[in-house]
């Protein structure tokens, strides 16, 4: 594991722990956010028959770097009516909530921030900080659009947490573990051992489970999409009615932090879906490292597969954003409370009965 490696290298637990906790941020989230923002603009452009950014670098791939440089230079505007301490703290709190989730996500078998036994439960818990941060941003902005956006966002995240947790309970019921690392290890072998195909145990129950697992996957994907405030669930920042929701008043680096948190969150929920249903970091077709007898190659391959699966779901999120229109507030709540929660509940009971067979 990486922690032991750094501990041997520096001989200090504190330094090793700090490096371990900063690794996902600098090695993964920042490059990912740069790439994902560019990808989003390219995806949206090509879906609307445009080209998107083309000027900076090959097909505009340095556009995000240029944007970041611009954002750093911007003046940090704080209006006199803003509540200054809370206004400054809010982007940090939102990012803390998002980044804490990465502590429990296994990137490869060799790297997990903290091998928590309560992994998924922990991730659900820290999302509470995101809600508190968004409400803080909305209130401290002292602007009715910001406050309305924050209220809508908080109501939405809290409502859609219920179907998410129900699907997580379904998976926990089958596998008996909350640890995402163990969960990924269980789904080893080939792709038919993934949870979406009924899990690693071969038998009648596996085939009975497949349709219900697909339903579960649909529910968790829709509800996590709502939790990260993406279209079709983006009424918290609906441009046509609320300017830009809870980050209307933010400029410069503070806006960039909200933006970074949003993209980090998109990857985090994709990673959770991947770890729960699509084998986490496991390869669908076996490892080249095992084939060639090079054991050090396996974690690198696993990192590749994990990133590829995560990026695929991020791409689907973007695809949906530029395909579907926005839901109204009442439709949003109806979709959650009248459809997703009852379906998730029935699904939970049926899968529970199947596991008893």
Rule CB under 8 A: which residues touch other proteins?
13-14, 83, 86, 89, 116-118, 121-122, 124-129, 131-132, 135-136, 139, 142, 144, 147, 151, 154, 158, 161, 178
CB closer to other proteins, 118 vs 297: 118
Q: How far is the CB of 239 from other proteins (least distance, A)?
A: 22
Q: How far is the CB of 155 from other proteins (least distance, A)?
A: 8
CB closer to other proteins, 37 vs 275: 275
Which tokens belong to 3?
């922690």
Q: How far is the CB of 125 from other proteins (least distance, A)?
A: 4
Which tokens belong to 92?
């940090």
Instruction: For 52-63, give one letter per residue: b (16+ CB within 10 A) or e.
Output: bbeeeeeebebb
Q: How far is the CB of 91 from other proteins (least distance, A)?
A: 14
CB closer to other proteins, 122 vs 281: 122
Phi-psi region of 138 (alpha: psi -120 to 50; beta: other; left: phi over 0): alpha
Q: How many CB atoms lie within 10 A of CB 15?
A: 13
CB closer to other proteins, 142 vs 185: 142
Q: How far is the CB of 291 from other proteins (least distance, A)?
A: 35
Q: How far is the CB of 104 from other proteins (least distance, A)?
A: 10
CB closer to other proteins, 47 vs 118: 118
Rounded to 5°, angle at Cα 348 from 103 and 187? 50
Burial class (CB in 10 A: 0-12, 13-18, 19+), 72: exposed
Q: How far is the CB of 336 from other proteins (least distance, A)?
A: 15
CB closer to other proteins, 66 vs 86: 86
Q: Dihedral sign, CA of 142, 143, 146, 148?
A: positive
CB closer to other proteins, 82 vs 109: 82
Which residues are CB-neighbours of 193 under 8 A, at least 6 positions away? 187, 199, 200, 279, 282
CB closer to other proteins, 43 vs 235: 235
Report which of 345, 193, 202 is spatially closest to residue 277, judged by C-alpha positions.
Answer: 193
Q: How far is the CB of 143 from other proteins (least distance, A)?
A: 9
Residue 240 vs residues 131, 145, 243, 246: alpha-carbon distances, Å: 23, 11, 6, 14
Answer yes or no: are the C-beta atoms of 311 and 218 closer than 8 Å: no
H helix runs in 248-296, sequence order = 252-277, 288-292
Placement of tokens 């995560």 in the chain: 310
Q: How far is the CB of 128 from other proteins (least distance, A)?
A: 3
Report which of 270, 276, 268, 266 is spatially closest to residue 167, judged by C-alpha positions.
Answer: 276
CB closer to other proteins, 131 vs 215: 131
Which tokens belong to 275?
């770890």
């Amino acid at each position: 594991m990486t922690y032991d490696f750094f501990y041997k290298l520096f001989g200090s637990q504190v330094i090793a722990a700090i490096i371990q906790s900063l690794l996902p941020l600098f090695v993964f989230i920042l490059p990912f956010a740069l790439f994902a923002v560019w990808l989003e603009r390219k995806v949206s452009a090509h879906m609307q028959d445009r080209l998107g950014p083309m000027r900076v670098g090959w097909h505009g791939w340095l556009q995000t770097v240029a944007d970041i440089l611009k954002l750093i230079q911007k003046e940090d505007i704080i209006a006199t009516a803003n509540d200054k301490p809370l206004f400054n703290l809010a982007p940090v709190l939102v990012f803390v909530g998002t980044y804490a989730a990465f502590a429990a996500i296994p990137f490869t078998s060799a790297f997990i921030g903290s091998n928590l036994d309560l992994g998924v439960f922990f991730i659900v818990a820290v999302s509470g900080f995101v809600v508190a941060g968004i409400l803080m941003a909305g209130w401290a902005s002292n602007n009715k659009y910001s406050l309305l956006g924050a209220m809508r966002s908080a109501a939405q995240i809290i409502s859609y947490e219920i179907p998410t947790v129900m699907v997580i309970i379904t998976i926990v019921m089958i596998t008996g573990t909350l640890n995402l690392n163990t969960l990924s290890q269980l789904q080893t072998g080939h792709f038919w051992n993934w949870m979406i195909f009924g899990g690693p145990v071969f038998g009648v129950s596996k085939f009975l489970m497949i349709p219900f697992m697909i339903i579960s996957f649909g529910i968790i994907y829709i509800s996590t999409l709502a939790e990260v405030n993406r279209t079709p669930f983006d009424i918290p920042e609906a441009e046509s009615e609320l300017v830009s929701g809870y980050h209307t008043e933010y400029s410069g680096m503070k806006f960039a932090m909200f933006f970074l948190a949003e993209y980090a969150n998109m990857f985090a929920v994709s990673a959770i879906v991947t770890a729960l249903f699509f084998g986490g970091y496991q390869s669908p077709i076996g490892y080249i490292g095992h084939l060639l007898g090079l054991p050090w190659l396996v974690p690198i391959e696993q990192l590749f597969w994990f990133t590829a699966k995560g990026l695929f779901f991020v791409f689907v999120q973007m695809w949906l954003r530029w395909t579907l229109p926005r839901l109204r507030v009442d439709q949003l709540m109806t979709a959650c409370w009248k459809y997703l929660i009852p379906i998730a509940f029935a699904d939970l009971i049926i899968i529970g009965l199947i596991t008893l067979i």
